[in-house]
Amino acid sequence: MSTDGIRSVVAGSVLELVLDRPERKNAFTNAMYSKLTEELNQAAQRAEVAAVLIWGAGNNFSSGNDLKDFLESPPSGTDAPVFHFLSAIASFPKPIVCAVEGFAVGIGTTLLLHADIVYAADNARFQLPFINLGLVPEGGSSLLLPRIAGSKAAQELLYFGEAFDAKAALQHGIINQIVEQPKLLEYARQRAAILATKPRTAMLESKALLKKSQEAELLNHMRVEGDAFIKRLRSPEVAQAIQAFFARK
Ligand code: COA
């Protein structure tokens, strides 16, 4: 267990970032966003890190932003830790692999849209419940999801906000491959290690070429989304939806 909810380990040339708050299904706190931002910014510079692998402790990826934080300490501007994290992952120059098992909700799904390679266990459950919570999509998902999944699929996933399984995620292009749950982490580690052996400069330049055409547009879109998201967070609809979540048991 880690005090700030993120564990980082360098294994060979791969930096593993573990979302480690299993008692809340790895819901993201401000401290977790800040730590992830710091780790990514350092990893971008560290010569010994060639790739990053992100996974979640306790057999879940993440249940999204901590809903208590949304009520008690919501981001007040686009300078908040969540937005620094989103910029850091969107601009990260080295390959990012994610291994998803169990729940991947909200930003637990939208951060996957920024990863280069995503492996998911057959038990993975994804969900984009922003509208159900009175919110708007975040993390660049209102730009990236239509491009990745097509506009009709993006509208369906975002408007209904229903959970979907690994097969649907594969069909929509959100993940690369489904792996049997017990083998997932080992497989993702092997694949990240392979990426880390590739010629470094060729990898960096190739990723830059793949991302370049939409990077400025994406960062700008995330600012627009961020402003809309912050406004929605202050609405009574959101307070009601979050109170209903905590009152559900
Ligand atoms: N923020 C804060 N606490 C959360 C959380 C979140 N995003 N997700 C789960 N938790 C807490 C639960 O309140 C519960 O706490 P408790 O043990 O004190 O009751 C604990 O984590 C375990 O979650 P639980 O709901 O009992 O697990 P589950 O297996 O029944 O359901 C989820 C898992 C992820 C489907 C469900 O927890 C959920 O829908 N969470 C909210 C997801 C969400 O809306 N995220 C924000 C998107 S913008």
Q: What's the rounded Cα separation, in Å, for the pair 235 and 71?
A: 10
pLDDT above 60 for 73: yes
Q: Please tell me if the CB atom of residue 67 comes closer than 6 angstroms to any atom of ligand 1.
A: yes
Give the model's confidence band at 3: pLDDT under 50 very low, under 70 low, under 90 confident, else very high. Answer: low
pLDDT number for residue 2: 63
**What is the mean pLDDT of the segment spanning 52-74?**
96
Distance 63 CA to ligand 1 centre (A): 6
Which amino acid residue places its CA nearest to atom 45 of ligand 1? 64
Q: Please tell me if the CB atom of residue 68 comes closer than 6 angstroms to any atom of ligand 1.
A: yes
Ligand 1 binding pocket mutation candidate from 63, 133, 243 (most atoms within 8 A of CB): 63
Mean pLDDT over the full length of the chain:
97
Q: What's the rounded Cα separation, in Å, for the pair 120 and 142?
A: 22
Question: Which residues make Cβ contacts (< 8 Å) with residue 4, sequence separation at least 6?
Answer: 29, 31, 32, 34, 35
In the chain, the percentage of residues whose pLDDT exceeds 90 is 96
Give the model's confidence band at 12: pLDDT under 50 very low, under 70 low, under 90 confident, else very high. Answer: very high
pLDDT in tens, 90-106: 999 999 999 999 999 99
Q: What is the pTM of this model?
A: 0.98
Q: What's the rounded Cα separation, in Å, for the pair 138 and 222?
A: 7
Instruction: List % helix, strand, coil for the chain (3-state, nearest 5).
Output: 55, 15, 30
> How many Cβ atoms sit within 10 Å of the Cβ of residue 163?
15
**What is the mean pLDDT of the segment spanning 79-93?**
97
Q: DSSP states of 174-191 as a string?
A: S-SEEE-GGGHHHHHHHH
Give the sheet arrangement for strand 164-165, strand by strand: 103-105, 125-127, 164-165
pLDDT in tens, 148-206: 999 999 999 999 999 999 999 999 999 999 999 999 999 999 999 999 999 999 999 99
Q: What's the rounded Cα separation, in Å, for the pair 213 and 174?
A: 20
What CATH number does the domain located at 6-182 have?
3.90.226.10
Which amino acid residue places its CA nearest to atom 12 of ligand 1? 24
